[in-house]
Amino acid sequence: MTTLQDIQTFEGKYPKQLWYLFLVEMWERFCFYGMRGVLTIFMADKILGLSFSDREANLKYGAIQAFVYAFTFLGGIFADKILGYKKSLTFGAIIMILGNILIAISPQELFFLGISLSIIGTGFFKPNISSMVGDLYKEGDSRRDAGFGLFYSGINIGALLGGAVCVYLGTSKDFGWSYSFLSAAVVMIIGLVTFLFIKKSLGPIGDSPMLNLEPKKRIFNEIAVYIGALLSIPLIFTMIKNTDYTDYFMYSVGPLAIVYFIFETTKAKETAVRQKLIAALIFIIFSIIFWAFFEQSGGSLALFAQNNLCDSLLFFHINPNIVNNTANSLFVIVFSPILGLIWLALAKRNLEPNTVIKFGLGFLFLAAAFWVFYYTRFFADAKGITSLNIFTLAYLIITFGELCLSPIGLSIITKLSPKNLGGMMMGMWFLASAYGQYVAGLLGAGMSSPDESASIITKLQGYTDGYYQLAVYALIAGIILIGIYSLIRKLMQEVK
């Protein structure tokens, strides 16, 4: 039987279990990003899809995205209190598979039911796999950030493959939407089977927190969670069908999460534990701002790519939308392990920047990237068509920002959370992404010209003005973060 000690005293750069979790998460992200890639086009497809107007399809897309991330908070809590990470992950994967199979059977009729299942499934899956990665490391092990960096490459390989395969199958004349959703179900089955195979190697990591209870009682609680999750399907179904409810949901879930956070924090006996939780909350709040800007990629930057970019990249021609959809994942896959190794090399020389600095750097890169998006206006021709090269350069810079914040954020949440709240805190980290997505939509709508038939040059001005402002706000956020450096460091105690 593998013990925690066996796992955490690994030699080399990465524990072997990290590679296993990497593979499982890769398939889950294939499924998630594949679904995300086809959502809007499927809903707006007038013949084989749901025939929604573009506006309605976009609103529903935003709602579904927000719900997916919001449910990670509940998934995290149930994993902490009742299921443990392993069971939670298995349950989530099964529900995601069922959701995709349902849609594949009849995309037009079963879409909303299937997507409700995907929302619940991802909620039980997503936060808990990241928490398990954190458990592979001992407190204070300086290899943790690099491990999350590698894990993050797995996320993006899945994202890239899923986006490409599902969009290809869905939009191809020879296949169609059913195949697209079926492929997501198939890879998720691969992910689940992989997890069931490697589960043993995780030893006690992710076991039920109720192992000390009588089996009967424990099983009763577990079944209650499963049934409760299934019973919530009609509720989610109704809320995504009517987009107005999304607003109410977003207004209430965040405050409720904060109230619950305060409840759990005040319950913690040691001051040090409480302070670490508050530090985690500060990182989570900053991440909302980061994602709200970053997620322009799915909204305003996609429209900008469609309207205002030429199609020549370095020495070849390419559809700017493909660049918009893939550049970030490709850059992450290449640079995430490299940055991880740089962190390790710096740690060896005692020069590794701590998390506050890394977050601050994340915002500075974000600001620089939006400044470059703004700067594209100076490369425009008379019609308002500008350089794809400069646009791609901005994506390279924003990716470095993401790498300083997103994998590092996962890592710091696992460092700052006490054992019994790991899932909930990871859920809160992703809940921040839900708000980021939500605010991103609002920002994007604010930037777009009210007149859809405006000239290309007016659109260029509208978007680049917006990007300039985002650059300024990102810079201010970075400065504030670095300004409260010593406060956060104090709250973090010994954690770096």
Cα angle 289, 295, 297 (rounded to 5 degrees) comes to 145
Nearer residue to ligand GLN within complex by CB, 82 or 250: 250
Question: What contacts 55, CB < 8 A, 6 or more positions away?
Answer: none
Cβ neighbours of 484 (radius 10 Å): 13
Query: Which DSSP category does 452 fall into?
Result: T
Q: From the CB of 305, what's the least distance to ligand GLN, in Å?
A: 19
- In the complex with ligand GLN, the residue whose CB is nearer, 324 or 406, is 406
CA distances from 426 to 13, 47, 128, 265 (A): 24, 40, 7, 15
* Least distance CB 430 / ligand GLN (angstroms): 6
Of residues 369 through 398, those in contact with ligand GLN by CB under 6 A are: none
Quickly count: other Cβ atoms within 10 Å of residue 297's Cβ.
19
Position among 155, 277, 380, 421 found at the interface with ligand GLN (CB under 6 A): 155
Nearer to ligand GLN by C-beta: 362 or 462? 362
d(CA 396, CA 341): 18
Comparison of 44 and 289: residue with beta carbon closer to ligand GLN: 289
Q: Are 211 and 142 in contact (CB under 8 A)?
A: no
Instruction: Spell out the alpha helix ranges (H) of 13-106.
Output: 16-44, 54-78, 84-105
Nearer to ligand GLN, 185 or 408 (CB): 408
Residue nearer to ligand GLN on the CB measure, 30 or 42:
30
Residue nearest to ligand GLN (CB): 433
Minimum CB separation of residue 130 from ligand GLN in Å reads: 8
Secondary structure (DSSP) of 147-195: HHHHHHHHHHHHHHHHHHHHHHHHH-TTS-HHHHHHHHHHHHHHHHHHH
d(CA 425, CA 421): 6
Q: Which of 71, 112, 261, 291 binds ligand GLN (CB under 6 A)?
A: 291
Smallest separation (angstroms) from ligand GLN to the CB of 386:
27
- Tell the smallest beta-carbon distance from residue 332 to ligand GLN (Å): 8
Binding map of ligand GLN across residues 56-75, x = CB under 6 A, - = no contact: --------------------
Between residues 204 and 337, which has the closer beta carbon with respect to ligand GLN? 337
Q: Can residue 29 be called a binding residue for ligand GLN (CB under 6 A)?
A: yes
Q: Nearest distance from residue 437's CB to ligand GLN, in Å?
A: 7
Considering the complex, state which of residue 367 and residue 403 has its C-beta at the smaller distance from ligand GLN. 403
Q: How far is the CB of 291 from ligand GLN (least distance, A)?
A: 5
Of residues 107 and 409, the one with the C-beta less far from ligand GLN: 409
* CB distance 440 to 292 below 8 Å: yes
d(CA 266, CA 319): 53
The Cβ of residue 211 has, within 10 Å, a number of other Cβ atoms equal to 10
Nearest approach in angstroms of CB 155 to ligand GLN is 5
Q: Measured from the CB atom, is 155 or 471 closer to ligand GLN?
A: 155
CA 25 – CA 330 distance, rounded (Å): 17
Q: What is the rounded distance in angstroms from the CA atom of residue 237 to the CA atom of residue 196?
A: 30
Which of 30, 52 has the CB closer to ligand GLN?
30
Q: How far is Cα 61 from Cα 240, in angstroms, rounded to an integer?
A: 9
Q: Name residue, tokens 């392990």.
A: 337
Q: How far is the CB of 5 from ligand GLN (least distance, A)?
A: 29
What is the DSSP track for 211-275?
A: TTS-HHHHHHHHHHHHHHHHHTHHHHHHHHHSTHHHHHHHHHHHHHHHHHHHHHHHH---HHHHH
Q: How many residues bind ligand GLN (CB under 6 A)?
A: 6
State how far the Cα of 79 lies from the Cα of 357, in Å rounded to an integer.
31
Tell which one of 17, 246, 406, 417 touches ligand GLN (CB under 6 A): 406
R_g (Cα) of the chain, nearest Å:
22
- Output the CA torsion sign for 206, 64, 172, 317: negative
Per DSSP, 399 falls in state H
Least Å from the CB of residue 296 to ligand GLN: 13
- Report, in Å, the least distance between residue 329 CB and ligand GLN: 8
Task: Tell me which residue has tokens 């107007």.
Answer: 53
What are the beta bridge partners of residue 253? none
Comparing CB distances to ligand GLN, the nearer of 264 and 402 is 402
Q: How far is the CB of 151 from ligand GLN (least distance, A)?
A: 9
Site of interaction with ligand GLN (CB under 6 A): 29, 155, 291, 406, 430, 433
